[in-house]
Amino acid sequence: MSTEVKVPTLGESVSEATIGQWLKQPGEAVAADEPIASLETDKVAIDVMAPHDGVMGEQIAAEGDTVTVGALIATIEEGSGSAPAPKKEAAAKSDAPAPAPAPAPAPAASSDDAPGGAAVLSPAVRRAVLEYGIDPSTIKGTGKDGRITKDDVIAAAKNKSASPAPAASAVAAAPAAGRNEERVKMTRLRQTIAKRLKSAQDNAALLTTFNDVDMSAVIEAREKYKDVFAKKHGIKLGFMSFFAKASVLALKDIPAVNAQIDGEEIVYHDYIDISIAVSAPNGLVVPVVRDCDKLGFAGIEKAIADFGKKAKEGTLTMEDMKGGTFTISNGGVFGGLMSTPIINPPQSAVLGLHRIEDRPVVRNGEIVIKPMMYIALSYDHRLIDGREAVTALKTIKEAIEDPTRLLIDL
């Protein structure tokens, strides 16, 4: 008796996905709630779980196929993996007598037996394993409960490349003369990013205003309180929480910057949910820190740290990225000096942060060296006037240069 495995509900407004990778092959033993396939959606990777113990049966869909919610993609057979499931495709290609059955595959190891937690690899780690061609059983995990992280895979790949290879292998791996090209199909996430960014340019009247910020006060505050803050809250005090709270002041003063256009109507929000752009292994994602106007510095820092970890491990969910009324993107972590960020539809504005560098500025008639940062606010000019955009960015600048404003809501 077989059990059908269908594409699960993927989230609000998400109706289809791509088979990113089959984690179990026909004939292999599977345990209840064990991942058997990884689906790539417009926003995140989702694992398909086995409904019960048994043997992986026929795979109806192949890797790279687009499937819809509720579609049949595989079957789970009864048994313990003692006999491989027949491969329908192979049988159709040949009329020759079937070869003797192969030895039964060993039962799947439990997460406790698998070296480095190989049985519980996250989607991001599985992609890295395939990309670098590393056997996960040879990697010692440094994550929680000994699980393998993406950094562990990259480190193993570096060690592998540093090891001297046999001469014959070196000859075989030598590239052919001339210039080569490689064509790789865009992931569903990358396709969605491309469509949304192009849509923002086509539909919104984008404009960007700039300012620069003296970071001296924030740097001094962090240096003074970082140890006490970390001891009390168990999290580091970063720059992002200062900019999030400064943005809250600006969005309260200029509600249009926190609003959006819906058809012929303007939707104003009485809450502030800030999307924080995070670099993930397969593209940029924007998880949402909700109710930033009600959170303290520690709450914001903890939320950002949690999202950063989940993005790295490929475990962000649809709920993590749903909604958002304003976005902050920090290109400074990659060394960017200045940029014109693109809004995240249907939002109407995005704040771009950049690198901090010492620059000469004039203070009280004298030239002094200060740690300066360029900040940019891109906005939809259909909804936000230039005066409003400049005022909002100026409010953020003043709050960062005088953090006391954050405490007295000024």
Catalytic residue list:
381, 385
Please enumerate in sequence order all residues whose Cβ is within 8 A of that of 119, keeping only pairs 6 or more positions apart, or say none. 34, 108, 109, 110, 111, 113
Cα–Cα distance, 40 to 62 (Å, whole number): 13
Q: At what angle do helices 386-401 and 216-233 cross, to 10 degrees?
A: 70
DSSP-derived secondary structure for 180-205: -----PPPHHHHHHHHHHHHHHHHS-
Cα–Cα distance, 288 to 304 (Å, whole number): 9
Peptide bond between residue 346 and the one before it cis (omega within 30 degrees of 0): yes
Q: How far, in Å, are 116, 301, 344, 381, 392 from residue 272 at the CA level?
A: 41, 16, 15, 20, 15
Beta-strand (E) ranges in 219-297?
Answer: 260-262, 265-267, 274-276, 278-280, 283-285, 288-289
Cα–Cα distance, 45 to 65 (Å, whole number): 15
Q: In Å, how far from its chain's centre is CA 224?
A: 32
First to last CA, the chain: 68
